[in-house]
Structure 1
């Protein structure tokens, strides 16, 4: 999705996180990959690009993910933090159904087949 049309931004850590999330969402969302923690100057550049868009942080449930969250809490407290269950550890390896429910909980529209994956597994 083109940045100029995205009204929401999701910040993720890795390229595999970005690829997984982009494949699941129907909303106009820009997904930005930080490759882990980021420098203060790069973070400032990102914040300047946010404008009035809604920003979500979707980081792994590990120390690197928490470090990234702390950076955003300090520098951009307006961001909303989305959490995967700690048992899955990484966004990229979390089950599609679980991740779809997390995104849906933030009013980010996802393709229905990812929601249905959980029903068939039960």
Structure 2
């Protein structure tokens, strides 16, 4: 139980991922599926950023040449997640535009109704 409390960011990320995955699987509405995908994206971002954080470490920017600090936070997970956020926003915009086209063609965004129409 102590490890769950210590790693509460990771636990929250796993719970968020599970919620997003459940939304993605259980709902037939395309907008709800996109929201579930975004929740999963956010969970992955939270998890990687939490793994890259080191308690008591400083940002990897050296302001003073005489500084004796050797404990720095790893900047790579943060940089990768910034790129991931840009990709996630792009995929969300693309998915929403496809959803608009599906609605214009079928008149609904419910997948079960689209499948009944011969989708």
User: What TM-score does the superposition give when structure 1 sets the normalisation length?
Assistant: 0.25
Q: Judging by fraction of residues, say which structure has more helix.
A: 2
Q: Judging by fraction of residues, say which structure has more strand.
A: 1
User: What TM-score does the superposition give when structure 2 sets the normalisation length?
Assistant: 0.25
